[in-house]
Amino acid sequence: MRLGIAIDSRLCMACYCCFTACKDEHCGHGTALSAPQPMMGQFWMDIREWERGDSSRRIKTATVPTPCSHCGEPACLRAAKDGAAYKRPDGIVIIDPEKAKGQRAIVDACPIHAVYWNEELSLPQKCTMCAELLDDPNYLSHLGDPGLKVPRCVEACPNRALVFGDLDDPESEIAKRIAEGRVTQLEPLLGQETGVVHLNVPTVFLAGTVYYPKEEEEVCIGAKVRLTCEETGESWETETNYFGDWEVEWLPKDKTIQIEILHEGHKPVHCTARTESDHYVAMTWLEKE
């Protein structure tokens, strides 16, 4: 059994319920697996957000909740002396709250900055995947596969953006979600298996708006927009919505994309865009055939 959390950025609405549940569980409450989490300055469930888009016409926020990834080959474990960090048979990586005292190198070793330094206790600290609760026969949680307890953050997520379970069981909900999703490894952890699996992390979007001919001053609803990547031949299709807007997400980075806009009774429109960054390509006015 290999325990893990799948985190779906597409479903995350940055409500911070997971962050708050983690604080509720771990602040002021230490166990054999972790000292109490300080209220301020530590983000065991770190909701990482950034702004996307390059014009005032289309700005979005990307949200990637990021706890410790419980890596297959943990850099923190390599940096820890005297067994101060270890991996359990279920894959959960733990920093020992006694043995790790004074070992600041464990904080510096983590490539995704998921370990925090507790100045008062002189201790590195991070997400335990709530192992102390999973081990507790008296802990009851109300979500997940039958018979499975889940971490507090997973239970708290109102949008099921977090799913916990056995990564090795193909019948588990987590395995199914991962099989259906778009898996994105965090760049510093590329190439290694992790207990935390990120799904649907945004890459690049292109967007635009289609109008009927200028004299009509109306947005065009239902125009077909086809994008084709010159290098890979991949293609994507969408339609303009009630505001005449179109948008295609999860495009490959740094590619040239051919855009074709089609609407019955009007001339096709062709243009090209690069996917170096998210952007609003153009306002397009159709011409009658």
Residues that bind ligand SF4 (CB under 6 A): 12-18, 21-22, 25-26, 44-45, 47, 65, 67-71, 74-76, 93, 110, 112, 114-115, 126-130, 151-153, 156-157, 159, 161-162
Residue with smaller CB distance to ligand SF4, 149 or 263: 149
CB of 130 to ligand SF4, least distance (A): 3
Place of tokens 């019948």: 171
Report the length, in residues, of the chain.
Answer: 289
Rg (CA), the chain: 23
Residue with smaller CB distance to ligand SF4, 185 or 258: 185
Residue with smaller CB distance to ligand SF4, 18 or 286: 18
CB of 171 to ligand SF4, least distance (A): 22
CB of 247 to ligand SF4, least distance (A): 21
Residue with smaller CB distance to ligand SF4, 182 or 274: 182
CB of 225 to ligand SF4, least distance (A): 29
Residue with smaller CB distance to ligand SF4, 62 or 282: 62
CB of 104 to ligand SF4, least distance (A): 14
The amino acid present at 269, given as its one-letter code, is V
Q: What is d(CA 11, CA 243) in angstroms, rounded to the nearest whole number?
A: 23
Q: What is d(CA 229, CA 165) in angstroms, rounded to the nearest whole number?
A: 37
Residue with smaller CB distance to ligand SF4, 162 or 251: 162
Residue with smaller CB distance to ligand SF4, 173 or 206: 173
CB of 175 to ligand SF4, least distance (A): 18
CB of 189 to ligand SF4, least distance (A): 7
Place of tokens 């019955």: 264
